[in-house]
Amino acid sequence: MPKKKVKKTSKKKTVKKTTAKKRTVKKTAPAKTSAEFLSSALKEIEQQLGALQGQKKGMERDLYLLALDFNDTQNEENQLRDKISKLVERESHLNTKKTKLKSEMQSLQEKITKVTQINAEMKGMT
């Protein structure tokens, strides 16, 4: 603000100086145009889409690995079933053989008993 000039006169006048208050002006960002707004929104959507596509690829890779593990587990399970089946078959065969051998042992025991009786009778006759 320009200062007031005081004229020199014989009488002194008192001049009151006034100071104006400083105005604070807030600077605001210029308003975005609709084209700028749409452009930034589109960029943000593209970024999110890229992130989602990355997550999708990661999940697909994990799913593929799980499928491989699942197939391996199924194959191992089938192999173990086959082994168990063979073991059960072998056990059945051994049980049959055991029963047959017990029967033969009992038959031999009976024959030994008869021979012992006959031997005792023969000793008694002589």
Q: pLDDT per residue over 28-50, tens digit each? A: 655 678 889 999 999 999 999 99
Q: Which residue has the tokens 């320009």?
A: 2
**Closest-CA residue to 4 (of 21, 19, 17):** 17
Quick one: average pLDDT of 71-97? 98
Least confident of 27-41, 74-88, 107-121: 27-41
CA pair distance 68, 8, nearest whole angstrom:
104
- For residue 125, the model assigns a pLDDT of 83
Distance between CA atoms of 50 and 44, rounded to whole angstroms?
10
pLDDT value at 1 more than 80:
no
* CA of residue 35 relative to chain centroid, distance: 43
Which positions ≥6 away from 6 have C-beta within 8 Å? 13, 15
What is the pTM (predicted TM-score) of this model? 0.49
- Helices then strands, each counted (H, E), the chain: 1, 0
Q: How confident is the model at residue 2 (pLDDT cuts 50, 70, 90)?
A: low
- The pLDDT of 11-25, averaged and rounded, is 61
Tell me the average pLDDT of the chain: 86
